[in-house]
Amino acid sequence: MAGKTFPWVLAPVPWADGAQYTRGSHDGLPLLSYGCAPRDRLATYRQLREMGLRPGGQDPVAVLYVRHHESGKTSFASLYLIDLAKPVRPMTPAKWTALAKANLGRRICPQCGKDHGYVIPPSLGCCFTCVMANETGERERQAA
């Protein structure tokens, strides 16, 4: 049984106040088994990536072990604090510029070619000035 290899140990941990039950320690870090790691506080590198996060320079605060029943092997994964994780792709100045350019393209009215400072609503297909001008033009044509 797993309990024989990794006995429950009450130890202070960085993700909670006071001592928590761990499965001992591994490489100087609290060892946790799958299921006893608080999933809202700790995540493996893969779990962080699934959340769009990365460790962000922090050291692992615990080690998760997973026992593979078929092979009988035990694998270890570093656990990181979700609170200290950072978004995978931080916005660089170049990315902001690219985004601004993409938005600028969507702000230019295809009818009058002006940048009005807002994204042209796809439902209108042109800026509000042109919509108004089109409506006025139609009214004038109808009145004529």
Identify the residue among 16, 51, 112, 124 touching Zn ion (CB under 5 A): 112
DSSP 37-105: S-TTTEEEHHHHHHTTEE-TTPPP-EEEEEE-TTT--EEEEEEEEGGG-EESSPPPHHHHHHHHHHHHH
Question: Which region, judged by CB under 5 A, interacts with Zn ion, from 31-39, 47-55, 70-78, 119-127?
Answer: 119-127
Q: Which of 29, 127, 135, 141 binds Zn ion (CB under 5 A)?
A: 127
Tokens representing residue 74 in the block: 């035990």
In the list 130, 134, 140, 143, the residue contacting Zn ion (rule: CB under 5 A) is: 130
Question: Can residue 25 be called a binding residue for Zn ion (CB under 5 A)?
Answer: no
Closer of 25 and 111 to Zn ion (Cβ) = 111
Q: Phi/psi of residue 137, each to 5°?
A: -60, -45
- Residues lying near Zn ion in the complex (CB under 5 A): 109, 111-112, 126-127, 130
